[in-house]
Amino acid sequence: MPAFTATAPAKIILFGEHAVVYGRPAIAVPVTALQARAIVRPELRAPHGQVRLLAEAIGLDALMKDLNPDHPLRRVVELTAQELGAAYLPACQITIQSTIPVASGLGSGAAVSVAVIRALAAYLGKSLADEVVSTLAYEVEKIYHGTPSGVDNTVIALRRAVYFVRGQAIQPLRVGRPFRLLIADSGISSPTATTVAEVRAGWQQNPADYEDLFDQIGAIVQQARLLIEKGQPEQLGDLMNRNQSLLEKLGVSSPELERLIATARQAGALGAKLSGGGRGGNIIALVDERSAPGVAASLSEAGARGVILTTVQ
């Protein structure tokens, strides 16, 4: 019997993380160099409805019925089966593999969900619209952290750049001219749930100041959208630096991230900022063809665990 495989990319947030949870826009793009993969294999000898889940990276080898009902993988399988009208799945084994580092702001959870949803749909001989895939993955995102904006599942399900506003229809973003970014991993694991909760606590204590910071971030996102659409990406660097300062004021940066950001800027990047939940995880730096190798080398020398060059298009 054949296997049914689906992949999903990682993502980075170019502008607007955290403020997007509070209704401001964000811009996010897929990163195809990093992928989650789900492989569904029929299990002809197993009882009908039996689903075995294997994810070597997290030491998981379990029958789905034995997992906690809130386990993200159990949840995503059950939601997808429900959406596809399959009361019981024909018995199968689902293997999950991923090259996306977890807790690093690259959307690993959403990518695993999207890959599993698409592989299961293929197994059942069906296909699901991107919007439906995104909505199902969003339900699982809520388990990872209580108040997700939905930007991760949207950009990953769509596999293209998006201008995202919570609760609004998906808006793909036209990229007027491709541009290059380096993504550098601080090696510090930082679950998004933690920084999102801290920002919420700060906002509850001091709503006026936080709303003002969110507004300033939202204004940067709108300017960035115009520059990206008009094909003037070299001007995004200054906006990235300004977005970073505002993220520092929100308290989601860290000395380690700021060291990598300073390194990138000194080595010739046009701008740099943290990307995603912050505190740890990744920074992104805007580079051109000429500056990319030197900036990448400086980031590695400064201790970045991995440096990836990606083209936004």
Residues that bind ligand MEV (CB under 6 A): 13, 17-18, 20-21, 105, 148-149, 151-152, 192, 196, 276-277
Nearer to ligand MEV, 40 or 137 (CB): 137
Q: Which residue in the shown chain puts its C-beta closest to ligand MEV? A: 149
Cβ at position 167, least distance to ligand MEV in Å: 12
Among all chains, which residue has been given the structure tokens 């860290």? 254
Nearer to ligand MEV, 79 or 110 (CB): 110
CA distance linking residue 115 with residue 119, whole number of Å? 6
- Whether 238 is catalytic: no
Cβ at position 250, least distance to ligand MEV in Å: 10
CA distance linking residue 282 with residue 250, whole number of Å? 17
Cβ at position 60, least distance to ligand MEV in Å: 23
Q: Are 119 and 157 in contact (CB under 8 A)?
A: no
Nearer to ligand MEV, 14 or 79 (CB): 14
CA distance linking residue 33 with residue 132, whole number of Å? 24
Cβ at position 17, least distance to ligand MEV in Å: 4
What tokens does 22 get?
């509070």
Cβ at position 107, least distance to ligand MEV in Å: 6
Q: Are 275 and 281 in contact (CB under 8 A)?
A: yes
Q: Which of 61, 152, 185, 238 is catalytic?
A: 152
For residue 255, the tally of other CB atoms under 10 A from its CB is 6
Q: Are 188 and 256 in contact (CB under 8 A)?
A: yes
For residue 51, the tally of other CB atoms under 10 A from its CB is 25
Q: Which secondary structure element, helix H or strand E, spans residue 193, and what is its range?
A: helix 192-205
Nearer to ligand MEV, 153 or 298 (CB): 153
CA distance linking residue 94 with residue 60, whole number of Å? 11
Nearer to ligand MEV, 154 or 298 (CB): 154
- Annotated active-site positions, please? 152
